[in-house]
Structure 1
Amino acid sequence: MLAVERLSHWFVNGGEETPVLHNIHFTVEKGEIIALLGSSGSGKSTLLNLMAGLMKPSKGSILINGHPIEKMTENQLAEFRRTQIGFIFQAYELIPHLTVRENVELPLVFQGIKAKLRKEKALFLLAKVGIGEKSELFPSQLSGGQQQRVSIARSLITEPAIVFADEPTGNLDTKTEKEIIDLIIELNSTLSITFVIVTHELEVAKRTRRVIQLRDGFLVEDASWAGEPE
Structure 2
Amino acid sequence: MLAVEQLSHRFRNGSEETPVLHHIQFKVEKGEMVALLGSSGSGKSTLLNLMAGLMKPSEGSIVINNRPIEKMSENELAEFRRTHIGFIFQSYELIPHLTVRENVELPLVFQGVKAKLRKEKALSLLNKVGIGEKSELFPSQLSGGQQQRVSIARSLVTEPAIVFADEPTGNLDTTTEKEIIDLLIELNETLFITFVIVTHELEVARRTRRVIQLRDGFLVEDASWAGDAE
TM-score using structure 1 length: 0.99
Q: Please state if 1:150 is matched with 2:186.
A: no
Tell me how far apart the structure 2 counterparts of residues 81 and 152 of structure 1 sit (CA, whole Å). 16
Deviation at 1:95, TM superposition (A): 0.2
Tell me how far apart the structure 1 counterparts of residues 161 and 56 of structure 2 sit (CA, whole Å). 20
Deviation at 1:229, TM superposition (A): 1.4
Deviation at 1:14, TM superposition (A): 1.2
**AA partner of residue 222 (structure 1):** D
Deviation at 1:157, TM superposition (A): 0.2
* Structure 2: runs of 5 or more not aligned: none
CA contact (8 A) 2:89 2:167 kept: yes
Aligned residue pairs total: 230
1:99-136, Cα deviation, whole Å (9 max, x unpaired): 00000000000000000000000000000000000000
2:100 corresponding residue in structure 1? 100
Matches within 5 A, 1:1-230: 1-230=1-230
Q: Which runs of 4+ in 1 moved over 3 A?
A: none
- Aligned to 1:35, the other structure's residue is in SS state strand
1:174-224, Cα deviation, whole Å (9 max, x unpaired): 000000000000000000000000000000000000000000000000000
CA contact (8 A) 2:206 2:228 kept: no
Tell me how far apart the structure 1 counterparts of residues 137 and 12 of structure 2 sit (CA, whole Å). 46
* Structure 1: runs of 5 or more not aligned: none
Tell me how far apart the structure 2 counterparts of residues 58 and 142 of structure 1 sit (CA, whole Å). 42
Tell me how far apart the structure 1 counterparts of residues 97 and 213 of structure 2 sit (CA, whole Å). 38
Deviation at 1:227, TM superposition (A): 1.9
1:118-156, Cα deviation, whole Å (9 max, x unpaired): 000000000000000000000000000000000000000
The share of aligned pairs that are identical, in percent, is 88
Deviation at 1:70, TM superposition (A): 0.0
Tell me how far apart the structure 2 counterparts of residues 25 and 145 of structure 1 sit (CA, whole Å). 34
Deviation at 1:39, TM superposition (A): 0.2
**AA partner of residue 23 (structure 1):** H
Tell me how far apart the structure 2 counterparts of residues 95 and 75 of structure 1 sit (CA, whole Å). 24
Tell me how far apart the structure 1 counterparts of residues 199 and 227 of structure 2 sit (CA, whole Å). 21
1:14-33, Cα deviation, whole Å (9 max, x unpaired): 11110000000000000000
- Aligned to 1:122, the other structure's residue is in SS state helix
Tell me how far apart the structure 2 counterparts of residues 102 and 197 of structure 1 sit (CA, whole Å). 25
TM-score using structure 2 length: 0.99
Deviation at 1:63, TM superposition (A): 0.2
**AA partner of residue 174 (structure 1):** T
CA contact (8 A) 2:144 2:172 kept: yes
